[in-house]
Amino acid sequence: MTDPEHSVPESTEIELEPNPARTIVPVSERHLSAEAALGTVGIAKRSVDRAESRWASRAWWDADADDYQAEHGDFLGVADFVWCPEGVREANARLLGDIAGQAILEVGCGSAASARWLRARGAYAVGVDLSAGMLGHARAGNTESGIDVPLVQGSADELPFATAGFDAACSAFGAVPFVADSGAVLREVARVLRPGGRWVFAVTHPMRWIFPDDPGEGGLTVAQSYFDRTPYLEVDEDGRATYVEHHRTLGDFVRQIRAAGMVLTDLIEPEWPDGHDREWGQWSPLRGRLFPGTAIFCCERG
Ligand SMILES: C[S@@+](CC[C@H](N)C(=O)[O-])C[C@H]1O[C@@H](n2cnc3c(N)ncnc32)[C@H](O)[C@@H]1O
């Protein structure tokens, strides 16, 4: 896969602001080395096309891969399937149904802990991810666990797999928030699934968009409109995106699922479990007890 040409659209007005993440929560401490490597100087809200989204996501996840693994690796495990910071596990939730003997694609697999958990239970799991840095941790996880899942580098909106080759697909916060057109991801997943195949994906709950990314009190006050789909960017001093995240409303997702020829069978909004006190970025017991942090869409290809 080659990098697309990376350029900022000429007509775009870029608003540079001090990064509130630096003052509200210590995001920059966790992401310091990625921000330094990419020359991040602030945030912007502007439209961003497919090529720039892909470039920024690849650069970001390559630069942040080691820190992400260091911070979350023990929570995710080496061969465990945790859907979200609320700690929902596939072992209990069984959102993918019977997995033994099934060919299952993990989209935006990161370290591929979920794919290895599936493989260990008899599925033919394959992981796909945009970032060589994240796939490096996936390879290390294969070696450490002795569970060898095939790993492929590619983008979720242009999956490098044959039509109807998988029985199911899953994603825990992989790819969907980082592509300019999440509808394209859903269409691609529908294409590679056999008829009747399940597609289950977890994303940040769309209503979190309206609050600052703060696990504390600051994350309880509405700061922007739910209806504002303008992407969140972090940018370098030339205004180039170094990190991109896109917002879709619940209704947007429902329409994209239907447009991809899939049926939405459930929407899970995990509640924060009693006694679970581990924070993950903006996910915290304080906020989790009041409103959902994760949305898990369960779909079936028609
Ligand atoms: C928040 S991490 C989640 C990783 C893993 N699923 C987990 O639960 O830890 C997001 C992942 O999506 C991947 N990603 C971002 N954009 C992508 C794209 N366009 N196609 C495939 N993967 C992508 C990143 O490289 C990263 O590994």
- Using CB distances shorter than 6 Å, the residues near ligand 1 are 54, 57, 61, 76, 108-110, 129-131, 134, 155-157, 172-175, 178-179
Rounded CA-CA distance 22/41 in Å is: 11
Tell me what pLDDT residue 14 has: 34
Q: Write the residue with the smallest CA distance to atom 23 of ligand 1.
A: 175
The per-residue pLDDT for range 28-73, each reduced to its tens digit, is 466 889 999 999 999 999 999 999 999 999 999 999 999 999 999 9
Low-confidence winner among 7-16, 25-34, 78-87, 188-197 (lowest mean pLDDT): 7-16
Query: pLDDT above 90 covers what percent of the chain?
Result: 89
For tokens 């401490």, name the residue. Answer: 29
Pocket test for ligand 1, best of 27, 48, 57, 126 (most atoms within 8 A of CB): 57
Which residue, by CA, sits nearest to atom 25 of ligand 1?
131
Q: Evaluate if residue 226 carries a pLDDT over 90.
A: yes
pTM: 0.91
CA 128–ligand 1 middle distance (angstroms): 9
Closest-CA residue, ligand 1 atom 10, reads: 174
pLDDT digits (tens, 9 = 90+) for 13-33: 333 344 443 332 333 466 889
Choose one of 49, 106, 129, 149 to mutate for the ligand 1 pocket test, by most ligand atoms within 8 angstroms of C-beta: 129
Mean pLDDT for 110-134 is 98
Residues sharing a CB contact under 8 Å with residue 135, sequence separation 6 or more, in sequence order: 109, 112, 127, 129, 151, 153
- Residue 29 is predicted with a pLDDT of 62
Does 228 have pLDDT greater than 60?
A: yes
The protein residue with its alpha carbon nearest to ligand 1, atom 4, reads 110
Pocket residue to mutate for ligand 1, from 68, 74, 114, 131, most atoms within 8 A of Cβ: 131
CA dihedral of 194, 84, 90, 61, whole degrees rounded to 10: 60
Q: Smallest Cα–Cα separation from 152: which of 171, 126, 179, 189?
A: 126
Chain centroid, CA 302 distance in Å: 24
